[in-house]
Amino acid sequence: MHLICGSVQLADAPPDSGHTGIVTNGMPGIHIEHYVRAARSKDIDEILPLYVDNRIELYAVLAHEKHQDVWEQLTTQMLGRLHGEELLHQQTCVEHFFRRFVGLHSTIPGDTTVQFHIEEQVSQVAQWGGIGPVLARILREAIETAGEIHNNTHLSAGSATVADAIPEIIAKIMEQASSVLILGRNEYVLPIIESLAEAGFERLFFAHPDMGIAHELALNDALYSLTDAHIRLPIEWEQRHEMLAECDVVITMLTPEQISGTKEATPCITLREAQSHLDSRKNRPLVIVDCSSEGGESEANIDPGFYQQENVFIYTLSDLEKVVQQNIQRRRRTIPQAQKRIAKRAQICMQRLYGKDRYLFDGMIARSPVMHTVLELTRRAATSDANILIQGETGTGKELIARAIHRQSHRAEGSFVTINCGAIPEDLLESELFGHVKGSFTGAMSNKQGLLEQAHHGTLLLDEIGDMSLPLQVKLLRAIQEGEIRSVGSTEQRTIDVRIVASTHRDLEELIQEGTFREDLYYRLNVIRITVPPLRERREDILPLAEAFLRRFAAPRRSFGRPDQRTLRLQPEVERCLLAYEWPGNVRELENVIERAVALSFGGMIRIESLPSSLCQQPAQGQVTPEQLIQEAMDQQYSLRELEAQYIEQVLKASDWNHTLATQILGISRTTLWRKMNDYGISKE
């Protein structure tokens, strides 16, 4: 795995080295284990300068899945040394990272090398605990920022290397070129081959006075990896002039001296031998590029007669370098414009991350890493047109996910239609989905348009698809496959363009085994599967959800003359109770509990008395209640220190060692938690 963030590269170390390596600009050979040891020993003097200089880049390194605990510990130590400022909460930090990502800090403005590595890692980073979801969001914002800048400015316009300048000048001369003859070999050959391959040149021919070198070039492993889908052929040196009849481009890499040992020798291609082959081209353009070491100093490597030929375009190494310098100057003039865009995007990013709506995505609240992963998949699914299957327990928010997909898709202007397949009898469900014509059955007094047709150019949500009967599943499958429907009682086929989103709380694979759900329909629906976790598995979302429901239900009461509702908040005991409950009814149950609590509240505070009694009596699975610990401590005659240590450890285990959740349950800060864990020797191992 590689993760490059700005100037820090996280890379796989050799298998036997036992650690992961970091390569930094000007600091090769430094390894992450050095910083891990420094963090664990509380000696941060060596790491602090690099941390401050690279800011978010080092966060990415220390957020690596193997070292999440070290990142949290290091951050806690850093806060005191950095005057309490959290680097990821600073807009300047995000701007710094965006500038590196876009390429403003590179020697060549607009260099996109970093981007290619980071784009591959976003989905993986999102699944990390701790800083992972926040870092992934910043990486996504960086990708969008780079796209906006590169599409609307000249920051990445034109070639930035000699190798890339060759396809650029060729494209200006001829619309389509496919074959290249490369004469000789020097330090430019590999980057030129890579650039030609990326530009779409399909045939590469290699010639050299030493036929062994020509074969070596054509069979080079590096060239195979660069041009896997292209033709690479060695040719005899004597055939080089004949190839001018079919090749669009000739690149010379040999000087006369390199060919025969004397500067007075003739160039590698001469007009006398090439004339007949040039004539056979029938005025098709020919580009000759001299990339030999003397190309910029003299014209000795090009037969002067070629300059007199029509449709023959000659470039030397110095010409290519001039093109590159012109492009770089044009890029540099774009930097102020790019910086303004970056500052604006960084401000938007900070608002999304830390503003009042930081946990929202299209009306959904997600603070937990598992839900960040779900919403990332939702974002990506929304951009496609594939059918989607949403699975999850009742009350987890499957319909919210479906609505978000519709609103974020290109079908947002179309209708979003929903139907609960388990709430309508089979005979009526068919009519609801496909429509019917007048007189098709008793009670059909007029023509009726079905929901599939109503959702044309939009989205249809089939809620509880697992409750649909087998005969109706057959008809639905045909509609999805053919994109056509026929109303009940009609012989006319009508074309539909509908995206199907199906949801269920049941295990469809189990229903397939039982013979109550068609396997072919399952595969049609299950193109993209989104599994919404139950609330008990994402406890970080409980309090943000509760606060959102609190604001919603308190607003109407303020309009009825209840000024105490303006600052309605939860008591700490209520928060602990909400966090400890198992929530079998998931988000829907939490919503009902908060609505009841608001209705029974007084004095601007939600108290424990406003909650259902059953909610406060059930501890989370695996969690030991304070009463149980006190009784055990009295029986075993524990000291107060031993009792506190055991309770902290039990809360950490119950929260799956999620420090954020544990601090909320314990009612202490993260710094206090770390100190007590160190004092009591509590660790996950």
- Give 224's pLDDT tier (boundaries 50, 70, 90): low
Three-state SS sequence of 83-110: CCCCHHHCHHHHHHHHHHHHCCCCCCCC
DSSP 336-380: HHHHHHHHHHHHHHHHHHHSTTTTEETTEE--SHHHHHHHHHHHH
What's the confidence (pLDDT) of residue 265?
A: 59
Mean pLDDT for 124-130 is 52
What's the confidence (pLDDT) of residue 201?
A: 83
Residue showing tokens 């608002």: 351
Domain at 167-321: CATH code: 3.40.50.720
Number of C-beta neighbours around residue 277 at 10 A: 17
Number of C-beta neighbours around residue 15 at 10 A: 6
Residues 249, 241: contact at Cβ < 8 Å?
A: no
Q: Which CATH superfamily is domain 626-680 in?
A: Homeodomain-like (1.10.10.60)
Mean pLDDT for 88-92 is 61
> What is the per-residue pLDDT across 540-566, written as a single tens digit (0 to 9) for each?
889 889 988 888 887 665 444 454 445
pLDDT surpassing 90 at residue 42? no
Helix, strand, coil fractions of the chain, as percent rounded to 5: 55, 15, 35
Of all residues in the chain, the percent with pLDDT exceeding 70 is: 71
Mean pLDDT for 247-273 is 74
Tell me the sheet residues that pair with 458: 498
Tell me the sheet residues that pair with 205: 181, 233
> What is the per-residue pLDDT across 10-40, written as a single tens digit (0 to 9) for each?
333 333 333 333 333 333 333 445 555 555 5
Three-state SS sequence of 170-222: HHHHCCCCCEEEEECCCCCHHHHHHHHHHCCCCEEEEECCCHHHHHHHHCCHH
Report the alpha-carbon distance of residue 369 to residue 426 in Å, rounded. 40
**Extents of the domains making up the chain:** 2-152, 167-321, 357-533, 537-620, 626-680
Span 537-620 CATH architecture: Orthogonal Bundle (1.10)
Q: Which CATH superfamily is domain 357-533 in?
A: P-loop containing nucleotide triphosphate hydrolases (3.40.50.300)
CATH topology agreement for domains 2-152 and 537-620: no
Q: Which amino acid is at 87?
A: L
Q: Which amino acid is at 455?
A: A
Closest to 450 (Cα-Cα) out of 461, 441, 437: 437
What's the confidence (pLDDT) of residue 527?
A: 94
Closest to 588 (Cα-Cα) out of 621, 538, 545: 545
Query: What pTM value is reported for the model?
Result: 0.49
Options 3.30.70.420, 3.30.460.30, 3.30.565.10, 3.40.50.2000; CATH of 2-152:
3.30.460.30
Mean pLDDT for 481-504 is 91
What's the confidence (pLDDT) of residue 594?
A: 92
Token pair recorded at residue 595: 């609505």
Closest to 544 (Cα-Cα) out of 488, 493, 590, 507: 590
Report the alpha-carbon distance of residue 183 to residue 254 in Å, rounded. 7
Tell me the sheet residues that pair with 138: none
